[in-house]
Amino acid sequence: MWQTIKQIPFWQKVVAGFILGATVGVIFGEQATVLKPLGDLFISAIKMLVAPLIFCAIVVSITALGNDVSLKRLSFKTLAMFMFTGTIASIIGLTVGSMIDMGGTMELATSEVRERHVPGFAQVLLDMIPVNPFASLAEGKVLQIIVFAALVGIAINKVGEKAQALKNTIEAGAEVMFQLTRMVLQLTPIGVFGLMAWVVGEYGLSTLLPLGKFIGAIYIAALIHIIFVYGGLIKFAAKLSPVQFFRKAMPAQLVAFTTASSFGTLPASTRCTESMGVSKKYGAFVLPMGATMNMDGCGGIYPAIAAIFIAQIYGIPLEMSDYLLIAVTATVASVGTAGVPGSAMVMLSVTLGVVGLPLEGIAFIAAIDRVIDMIRTSTNVTGDMMTAVVVGKSEGQVDVDQFYTNDEPLKPAANT
């Protein structure tokens, strides 16, 4: 029996928890609210992860660049492209999310008290610098943790051999946090069950209706980003044909959409970039780096729209400073945590925490995460291939004649 349950795909367990929780809420009504502590336990466990996970992951990401000058130049150039497209993805997500009324007339109550003090732009910048890094870690001040972690990573690289022990310790800490994250995320079906039983029991089935608009908003934003941002960079930065790029990228996009795994798509994306004329040496560098750090779908579009959706259903107004914090946090933190299992959920909890939105809202979208993850992954993988072509061409790593050859695209079935 237990072995059979273990063999069920994780996303199916989450969907089952969602359905069972909603069913219990419908049948038992307000009595189902006694199950809310199960959801609260899950939310508390997610909160527990954020500070140490962000710190270790970002330090490891910075130190991975090393001190090799040529590799460092190529790394920073690639990373700059990831950051640029991630920022644009956040802006697109915020724009699309703001234009669509995903929450409708529904307005839930939250036990969290959200202070509406809106600091000025200068104060936002000052608040990013931790006066006491240990206090920032203890209080979960994400932006301060990100800045401190980045500075620690840079300092470790500058110190060199003498800091190797600290580097090894933080890398080991990152691995421990990744494993702890895997363990905590196994609680997702139980947490979703408890929260959905509480929500439906308290507010009724009408709470589930806005999910269709939320999914639609994610897909619209992702397609805009893929077609116009990635296509535009191929056209104007690399001065190549976007049509040819998308034709050759299609097999990897299909694999990404069906598997919802950036790492699982690496064989397909590698062969696709080779068919575009990207050198094997650079492709072998940028694609794994992209699968680990480039998350426009997970770290840009998704948390931006999800934060707006959760704000709408809880009736919490967002100020311009909130939108700025969402964009900055989603872009910067995603680069450091993209390789973490379940990074989308971790990133969402980080983004919600920064702008003071209730984490209970995660339960609404956890069950449909698989549907969203398909387009998120397709966006991420397309961004990896675009970066390989655009940055590769600027470094003389792309054979333009090969890019324009009309060989048949590789079949996705051969790469799964």
The CATH number of residue 345's host domain is: 1.10.3860
Tell me whether residue 2 is in a domain. no
Q: pTM of the full predicted structure?
A: 0.73
Task: Answer whether 89's CB lies under 8 Å from 296's CB.
Answer: yes
The secondary structure of residue 340, as a DSSP letter, is S
Count of structural domains, the chain: 1
Tell me whether residue 159 is in a domain. yes
CA dist., res. 124 & res. 143, Å (int):
10
What pLDDT digit, counting tens, does each position of 22-70 carry? Answer: 899 888 888 888 888 888 888 788 778 778 877 887 788 778 766 655 5
Tell me whether residue 69 is in a domain. yes
Task: Answer whether 68's CB lies under 8 Å from 214's CB.
Answer: no
pLDDT confidence of 103, banded at 50, 70, 90?
A: low
Q: Where on the phi/psi map is residue 100: left (φ > 0), alpha (ψ -120 to 50), or beta?
A: beta
Tell me whether residue 108 is in a domain. yes
What pLDDT digit, counting tens, does each position of 315-360 carry? Answer: 888 888 888 888 887 776 556 545 454 567 777 777 887 788 887 7
pLDDT of residue 154: 85
Q: Tell whether the model's pLDDT for residue 120 goes beyond 60.
A: no
Tell me whether residue 3 is in a domain. no
Tell me whether residue 1 is in a domain. no
Range of the domain at 289: 8-414
Q: What is the average per-residue pLDDT within 287-314?
A: 82
Tell me whether residue 373 is in a domain. yes
- Mean residue pLDDT across the chain: 80
Tell me whether residue 296 is in a domain. yes
Tokens of 95: 């724009």
Tokens of 116: 């509406």
CA dist., res. 253 & res. 260, Å (int):
10
Amino acid at 31: Q
CA dist., res. 386 & res. 273, Å (int):
9
